Every structure is written in C-alpha cells, then in structure tokens.
Amino acid sequence: MRTYELLSSGRLCYATDLGAQICGDSLELLAQLPADSVDLFMTSPPFPLLRKKAYGNEDQEVYVAWLTQFVKLARDALKPTGSLVIDIGGAYQRGMPVRSLHQFRALLAFVDDLDYRLAEEFYWHNPAKLPSPIEWVNKRKIRAKDSVNTVWWLSKTDFPKSDVSRVRVPYSESMKRLLKDPAKYYQPALRDSDHDIGDAFGTDNGGALPSNLLSFANSQSNDSYLRAIKNLERKGHPARYPLKLPSFFIEMLTDPGDMVIDFFSGSNSTGWAAETLKRRWLSFERDAEYCALSSLRFLGNESTESQKKSVQQIESGESLIL
C-alpha cells in the first residue's frame, strides 16, 4: 500500500511511482501520518506579510501559534533520524521601519515548547530579489534590500541523518590552481589560531564543503513549469522557491527511497525535487488550483494541449496517475 492510500481525508490530484499530490487541509493530513514514518519535512509556509496574498498568509499577531500546530504534528510523524527544514522569510511591522521577529519567535516555540533540536541555522540568499518594502527601501532609502530568508534545520533527536559531503560546491578558481600544484601555492604551517591544516589541504575531494549561506537566485523565468503556465495562459503560484533549495536539503538529509513531505506545497517544487532525486514524496496543498497546476512540473514532455487536458481533468475532480 502506498503512503497516500493511508490518508482518509484529502483528494488525490495526481501520483507517480514515487509520490503524490494531495489537496486538503494539512492539519488533517499530518495527523493521519504514521508515527516515525517520515525522513524529511521540507516546506516554506506562507509568511506573515503585511499585504495579503492570493495564496493566503496569516497575520503577524497569530502567526507563531498558527504555524506551531503544523510543526507539532510533523514532529510526531518524524523518524528519530529525521529532519524538519522550514524556510521562513522576514517582514516589517506595520507602518514602521522595524523588523518583525516572527521567524525567531517561531524557532523558540519549536525548540522550547515542542522539544525540537536546532541542528543548524541556514540563510537563503536570493540575489534576484526585488527591493522591498518600497516605502523604506525605494522611496525613503533608509533600509537596505531584504534578500535573505532564515531556514531552520530542526531535528527530533541530537543526531539526525546527514551527510554534507553529498552537497559539495565547486572549488574557487584559486583552489583549483592550488590543487594543480599544491607546493607552488601552499606550504603546511600552523596558523595564528593554532589550527594545523596539514598536507590534506591539497587533496581534491571533488568540491568544497558548503557553508550555511545558500545563494540561489529565484529567477527561473524560463523553467518548464513557468513556460507551461504561460502557454496555458494561467497564473501560477507566486511564491515559489528555487529547486536548488529543496534539492540541497533532500540530498544532504535523505537517501534514495526515503520519504519527503511538504505540507505547504504550493507549486510543488519539493515534490519535483524529490522525484528527480529518487525519493518517495507527498505534497499537501489546500488550494485546488495550485494543486492542479503543479502537475505541469511532471508533464514537461507533453504538448500544450495534453497539459491543458490533464490540468482540467484534475480540476474537475479526477485523479491522474502520471
């Protein structure tokens, strides 16, 4: 039996051999997941922005209590070796050039009230992000552009599954030169900090270990999902994160065949990343239109007419096996 067949609520929109998109209330769906069954929750909830968005976002005053409901249920379903990775962007307080602390209050609630461990904090830098808010950045020019989201990597126990060597990044040009001729550019020596790198510094490991600052531009204006949306003259989900973000954590924190779940799936970037990396996955989203349109990520090789038909079938209540 597939995992989605254990869910008694929600509607199956489409499924692949590895996963399924479910339309429904994530609180109800999370409560139905078996205990100790999920390897990774990777999600980005609606942020408490001052302007209301089409996808729905909670007010700052109630945000932490609202989000904690979902995160508590996720903890119950996590394996002892599992992780929750949650991307939360910042915001300003209403009418003032002063930042909201909602993402930090949420983190404290997760750790202090729900007994999560903060495995590590990450920061997603989006160099393509537009200047905002207009009042403080563009007009008055008294604040810098906000281009970084906090990404909390949380775990149920002190030692979740993880292998950072799987997500090595390309070497810098200077490091490439050193690797070609270590003796020319580097002599092993004890640093002022008493840190002894030794001869291993010249070893080619296939890439450098990443830092916790992840710089991924969210400017995929020509990917297959957006091309399909444009061809169908539809409006896709406005708050997508780049595929590189979920892919990084899926590769680092799971093995092929592990279960990955996104309970605010939107355009289903997480599901598509998990599918590509051969992980099992489930995606929960309450908006039926976004669920239907997210199927376009999995229909990239089909004609526009075939894609249109599939989306219409899902919107009419059918469940497609892709």
Which is catalytic among the residues 26, 39, 44, 283?
Answer: 44
**CATH homologous superfamily for the domain 3-169+209-226+234-321:** Vaccinia Virus protein VP39 (3.40.50.150)
What confidence score (pLDDT) does residue 91 get? 87
pLDDT value, residue 56:
45
Helix axes 304-315, 224-231, angle to 10 degrees: 80
Catalytic residue among 87, 146, 258, 262: 87
Tokens 């020596």 locate to: 189
Report the alpha-carbon angle 64-83-287, nearest 5. 55
Q: Which pLDDT score, from 0 to 100, does residue 97 have? A: 93
Among residues 39, 45, 265, 310, the one annotated as catalytic is 45
pLDDT of residue 221: 55
Q: What is the pLDDT of residue 224?
A: 82
Active site residue 247: no
**Residue ranges of the chain assigned to CATH 3.40.50.150:** 3-169+209-226+234-321
Q: For residues 88 and 152, is the Cβ–Cβ distance under 8 A?
A: yes
- Beta-carbon count within 10 A of 268 CB: 29
Residue range 156-203, pLDDT digits in tens? 999 999 999 999 988 877 777 767 767 666 665 555 555 555 555 567
Per the listing, tokens 């690797």 go with 179
d(CA 74, CA 37): 10
- ∠ CA 37-38-43, nearest 5°, is 155
CA–CA distances in Å: residue 259 to residues 20, 79, 156, 157, 322: 11, 10, 16, 18, 19
- 112 catalytically annotated: no
Return the pLDDT at 131: 86
Nearest to 274 by CA among 29, 3, 64, 67: 3
What count of residues does the chain have?
322
CA distance 286 to 290: 8
Which tokens is 201 given?
Answer: 């510094």
Is 44 considered catalytic here?
A: yes
**Confidence (pLDDT) at 197:** 55
Per-residue pLDDT of the chain (322 residues; tens, 9 = 90+): 688 888 888 999 999 999 999 999 999 999 999 999 999 999 999 877 545 444 344 556 788 999 999 999 999 999 999 999 999 988 888 889 999 899 999 999 999 999 999 999 999 999 988 888 889 999 999 999 999 999 999 999 999 999 999 999 888 777 777 677 676 666 655 555 555 555 555 677 778 899 999 999 877 655 788 889 999 989 877 778 899 999 999 999 999 999 999 999 999 999 999 999 999 999 999 999 999 999 999 998 899 999 999 999 999 999 999 9
Q: DSSP letters of 34-66?
A: PTT-EEEEEE-PPP--SS--TT----TTTHHHH
